[in-house]
Structure 1
Amino acid sequence: MKKVDKTSSVSIHIQLQSIIKDMIESGELKEGDVLLPEREICKEQEISRMTVNKAINALVSEGILYRKQGKGTFVAQKKKKYQFNNVKGFTEVMKSRGIDIKTDIIKFEILNPDDIIMEKLGITDKRENVYKIKRIRYVENEPFGYEIAYIPEKVCGGMTKGMLDDNSLYKILENEYGYKVARVEQIIDPIQVDTKVSEKLQCEKGRLALSIQRTSYTEDEKIIEYTVTIIRSDKYQYEINIGM
């Protein structure tokens, strides 16, 4: 392991993070490898246990390392990167890239929305119902995201759970109901997953994730979908390319 530079203006724990990252990038440390115990890193680097712990905690939070109680700290699986640069749906994008995906619909219901969902969908009549669809998205057999979608019933009356099985919602809206998504608005926030979401995504409670609120519009500015998706950030990166 490369030594930290105690004369540098860069904090020691930041240097140590960079050293460990470089070891992973170079292949010196591979996925599943165990990191040296903190006390050995302290001795080798001649730095405090607190500094080493701070560096390792930061890398665990980033999903670069993970801990197993009583066994040590290990190199995590390298994050997969997925780009979403257009208004295609998740299923359509992944299938076009030949990526193995699966969708598990865990709840499909029609209900009367609360005030928040009414506002998100631009609904003014309290008598209007919406579809509420909860799905878990899998990429290469690993949970990728937990999604809750809301769609006005009047947009796609008669839609069934079976229609959505491994099919693109956007394709269904276009082919079955004549609504083509022209643009989307997205709000992305970092969050810590709670117990319910951690169980669905098979990750630790408190793990960092991305919450993506997505509102879909037709060409005439009609809102046809509002979705909240929570994506694991320990194994996946969400990349957006903006052309100028």
Structure 2
Amino acid sequence: MEKAREARYRTIYKQLKEKIESGEYKQGNRIKTEKELQEEYGVSRDTIRRALSHLENEDYIVKRPALGTFVKHKKSDYQLSKMESFTEQMKSRGIAPSSEIISIELVSNPERQVVRELLLGEEEKCYRITRIRKGDESPMAYEIAYIPQKLCPNLQKYLDDTSSLYQIYEEVYHLRMGDGRIRLEADMPGIEIQKSLGIAHDAPVLRMECTTLLEDETPLYYVECYYIGAKYYFSTVLPRK
């Protein structure tokens, strides 16, 4: 009898896992309640709980009090071995990228950090673009990008919720991108970012500062991006010599 119960629990666990991995249960979807699963499989609640507990331990699902059980978002690997746009990152992982544009401004007096990174002259302006970056319609990061107006005039004409800035740089303005400098640190975001990303007040984020240059080393853009810590990790390969 005990072996039969063990086999039944593992069968349910494997079937639910297969539905998640195949995409039948998509990331962020709420799965059936314990009672619904109990009725579907004709087993005890304890058997269902064992199967769900196994999935939770393997990071496939997350239980949210009073809301239900949801398919957990897999963390995206931001590889630091090459310059890659958010759009390219998402597409390479089979995730549909999009953005929610909060504002597009032409700024005449940016912060000192922006002036230093972009080497702006006294009279030079830059665009400040604030967006929520999404994967499969779910918030992934809060981004503030600064681009010199002289390099990308009328930038606002080409930007919408599906645009990739990298693609605009290369295909509209025919700019040849070079190296990028990246700095990463853990951070506790302000209220506006918390609300925009739908995260708790005590949820950490990964804050990235990135300055990307053209091939002739002219600064092309400077970006501050706040990645949801539960959805991202950063990786690279370090040579011995």
Deviation of 1:79 (Å): 4.0
Structure 1 stretch displaced more, 154-163 or 176-185: 154-163
- Cα 1:140–1:75, aligned 2, differ >3 Å: closer, same or farther? closer
The separation in 2 between residues aligned to 1:82 and 1:142, in whole angstroms, is 16
Q: Which residue of 2 aligns with 1:188?
A: 184
Which of 168, 171, 178 is 1:172 aligned to? Answer: 168
- Cα 1:191–1:161, aligned 2, differ >3 Å: closer, same or farther? farther
Structure 1 stretch displaced more, 211-220 or 80-89: 80-89
Matched, 1:136 2:152: no
CA RMSD of aligned residues (A): 2.8
Kept in 1, the 8 Å contact 2:56–2:62? The answer is: no
Which of 98, 112, 116 is 1:102 aligned to? Answer: 98
The separation in 1 between residues aligned to 2:173 and 2:100, in whole angstroms, is 23
Matched, 1:156 2:178: no
Aligned letter for 1:240? Answer: S
Deviation of 1:147 (Å): 0.1
The separation in 1 between residues aligned to 2:157 and 2:100, in whole angstroms, is 11
- Cα 1:80–1:108, aligned 2, differ >3 Å: closer, same or farther? same
Kept in 1, the 8 Å contact 2:158–2:168? The answer is: no
Which of 226, 233, 237 is 2:232 aligned to? Answer: 237
Which aligned pairs between 1:69-108 and structure 2 lie closer than 5 A?
A: 77=72, 79-84=74-79, 85-108=81-104
The separation in 2 between residues aligned to 1:114 and 1:83, in whole angstroms, is 27
Which aligned pairs between 1:194-209 and structure 2 lie closer than 5 A?
A: 194-209=190-205
TM-score, structure 1 length as denominator? 0.67
SS in structure 2 of the partner of residue 30 of structure 1: helix
The separation in 1 between residues aligned to 2:164 and 2:95, in whole angstroms, is 14
Aligned length: 184
Identity rate of aligned residues, in percent?
28
Q: Which residue of 1 aligns with 2:117?
A: 120
Kept in 2, the 8 Å contact 1:31–1:75? The answer is: no
TM-score, structure 2 length as denominator? 0.68
The separation in 1 between residues aligned to 2:194 and 2:237, in whole angstroms, is 31
Q: Which residue of 2 aligns with 1:210?
A: 206
Deviation of 1:92 (Å): 2.4
The separation in 1 between residues aligned to 2:151 and 2:143, in whole angstroms, is 20
Which of 52, 55, 58 is 1:30 aligned to? Answer: 55
Structure 1 stretch displaced more, 127-136 or 169-178: 169-178
- Cα 1:111–1:238, aligned 2, differ >3 Å: closer, same or farther? same
